[in-house]
Amino acid sequence: MSRLLLGKFAVIATLVVLLLIPLSMVSGLISERDMRRQSVINEVQQTTSGAQRVTGPVLVIPYKLRTVETRAVQVWLTCGAEEHPDPGVVARARAICAKTEKTSGETVTVPTDQQTEVFSDEILAVPPDVLRIAGDVRVEALYRGRYEAHVYAATLHLSGSFAVDVGALANDDNVTFGDAYLALGVADVRGLRTSPSVKWREEPLAVVAGNDFSVIGNGVHAPLRGFDADTKASYPYELTFTVIGTQSLRFSPVGRDTKVELSADWPHPSFTGGMLPATRTVTDTGFQASWQTSWLATNMNRAFQSRNGSAMASQDFGVDFIQPINLYQQTTRATDYGILFVLLIFTAFFLFEVVARLPIHPVQYGLVGVMLATFYLVLIALSEHISFAAAYLAAASACVALAAFYVAHILRRWRRGLGFGALLAALYGALFVVLQSEDHALLLGAGLVFGAVAAVMVLTRRLDWYAVGSTVAAESPVGSGA
C-alpha cells in the first residue's frame, strides 16, 4: 500500500478526531438545556408540592400516666426535740441520738425515702383494622417558558374500620385518657388545597392542621368528640381529599388489611416501593393498578409498634409518573451516534475514491463532517418549539438536501449526489427508529453497525488495495475544476 493511501487514512482519522470537538460542544449545550429543564421541575415542586406519601389514618389516644418515684434524702433533726410528719423518721432520729450519745440540742442526719408523683404524657397509636384506598389521578402540564413540568391531582377516598381495645390501660387507675384524634400523614401538606372530608361512625369531623404523631410525618388530624377509650368496639371511618404532587405518589400500608386501587390518565407509570401491584393495566391513555397486603406479609406490625418511621417507609409502595424519553434524552442519544455517522459517511466518500476513482479533497470531507455535527444543533433548536419527530424530520431533510446538492457537484453527477442523499436519508431513518425504540435500542444500533461493516466488505471484496494508492495518485482532486 502506497504512502499516499496511508497519508489519506491519517488525514481522515485526524478529521474524525477534530469533529469530536463540535460534537462535544453540542452535547454540552444539550446538557445545559436539560439542566434548565430540571431546574424548572424543581421550581414547580417548590411552588406547588413535591412527591407525596400518604400514611394512615391512625387513631391516636393520648393519656397521662401517673408514677411514684422514690428517692433517698437526708433529714436533719435536733435530738430531744425531734419533729417530722413521718413518725418513722422521728423514731429513727431518736435511735441515732441514743446510739451516738448525742445530747439534747445537737443535730443528727437521718436517711429517709421521699416519694414524688410524676405525670408523663404518653400516646397509644391504633392502626386501622381495615384500610381501603381508591384513587383517581389526573396529570397536567405546567410551562415555564418553553420548559414543561408535570403536576398531578390525586382524589383519594380512604375507608375502613378500627378495632379499638386499649387492654390493661382501661383498668389502670394511674392512667387518665385525653382527647383522641384521627391522624393522617401527608408528606407535603401544601398539596392539600382543600380541607379533607372526614367521617367517624357516619358523623362528620372538623380537620385541624398539624399532627402530633410524628412517626407518620407531616399531616393533619381530626379531634374525636366524645370518644370513650374504655369501650371495646369497631369504628368505621371515611376520608376524602385531593392532594397535589409531582413525580411520585406512595402509600404506607399501615392497615392490618390494606388494599389500594389507583387509576390515572398517565401512560408511563413506574411502579416502585416494597411491593408491586397485584394487577395492572397500562394503555396509551393511562393505567389502572391495585395493591393488596396485610401485616402477615410485611414487617409493618413490628415497625408500627416500635414507632420506627424508616422501617415503616421501607414498606411503602406506589407509582412514579415518569417521562420515559424526553427531547433532551433523545437528542443526547442521537449525538451518541454522531461519531458513527461521521465514520459511515467518510467511509462512503472513501469508497467513491477507491471504487469509482474519484478523489475527494480533505476539505470536502471536513465540510460534510461539520454539516453532520450541525444536524444535532438544528435538531435541539427545533425540538424545543415543535414535536421531536417533526424537528427530526426537518433537520434531517435539510441536511440530506444540502448533502445531495454538495456531493452532486464535487462528484460531478446528480445521480451520485442523489444516491449519496438517499444513503444519508436511510441512515437518519435508521437512527430515528433506534431513538424511538427504548427497549431494543442496543439491538438495532448493533444491527446498523454490522450492516454498515458488511456493506463495506461486500463492496470491496474484489478490490486490490495494493493498487489503490497508485490509482488515487493518478487522479486530480475532485472539485478542482468544477
Q: What secondary structure does DSSP assign to 441-473, as a single string? A: HHHHHHHHHHHHHHHHHHHTTT--HHHHHHHHH
Q: Residue-wise over 383-404: b if at least 16 C-beta within 10 A, else e?
A: bbeeebeebbbebbeebbebbb
Query: What pLDDT does 260 receive?
Result: 95
CA-nearest of 295, 265, 262 to 279 is 262
Q: What tens digit of pLDDT does each residue of 148-163 get?
A: 778 899 999 999 999 8
Q: What tens digit of pLDDT does each residue of 248-264 get?
A: 999 999 889 999 999 99
Given a cut of 50, is residue 413 above it in pLDDT?
yes
CA-nearest of 177, 63, 180 to 120 is 63
Dihedral, CA atoms, 79, 81, 86, 88, nearest 10 degrees?
A: 40
Query: What pLDDT does 73 receive?
Result: 66
Q: What tens digit of pLDDT does each residue of 434-458 get?
A: 777 766 667 777 777 787 778 777 7
Given a cut of 50, is residue 474 above it in pLDDT?
no
Mean pLDDT of 350-367: 77
Query: What pLDDT does 263 receive?
Result: 95
Using pLDDT thresholds of 50, 70 and 90, give the confidence band for residue 475: very low
Q: Which fold has domain 50-55+128-171+185-321?
A: Immunoglobulin-like (2.60.40)
Residue that the C-alpha cell 389516644 belongs to: 61
Mean pLDDT of 401-408: 88
pTM of the model: 0.68
Residues 6+ apart with CB under 8 A from 4: 469, 472, 473
Q: What tens digit of pLDDT does each residue of 168-214 get?
A: 666 677 778 888 899 999 999 989 988 899 999 889 999 998 887 87
Domain coordinates of the chain in residue numbers? 3-38+327-474, 50-55+128-171+185-321, 69-114
Type of residue at 301: N
C-alpha cell at 146: 418553553
Query: What pLDDT does 467 receive?
Result: 65
Q: What tens digit of pLDDT does each residue of 334-350 get?
A: 787 788 778 888 887 77
Query: What pLDDT does 45 receive?
Result: 73
C-alpha cell at 266: 398517565
Given a cut of 60, is residue 106 above it in pLDDT?
yes
Using pLDDT thresholds of 50, 70 and 90, give the confidence band for residue 230: low
Measured CA to CA, the distance from residue 481 to residue 97 in angstroms comes to: 133
Mean pLDDT of 345-369: 78
C-alpha cell at 298: 410485611
Query: What pLDDT does 296 receive?
Result: 80
Phi-psi sector, 471: left (phi>0), alpha (psi -120 to 50), beta: alpha
- Average pLDDT value for the chain: 81
Residue that the C-alpha cell 425515702 belongs to: 113
C-beta of residue 108 within 8 angstroms of C-beta of residue 96: yes
Query: What pLDDT does 100 receive?
Result: 76
Of the listed ranges 237-251, 352-366, 466-480, the least confidently predicted one is: 466-480
Measured CA to CA, the distance from residue 283 to residue 261 in angstroms comes to: 16
CA-nearest of 313, 356, 344 to 187 is 313
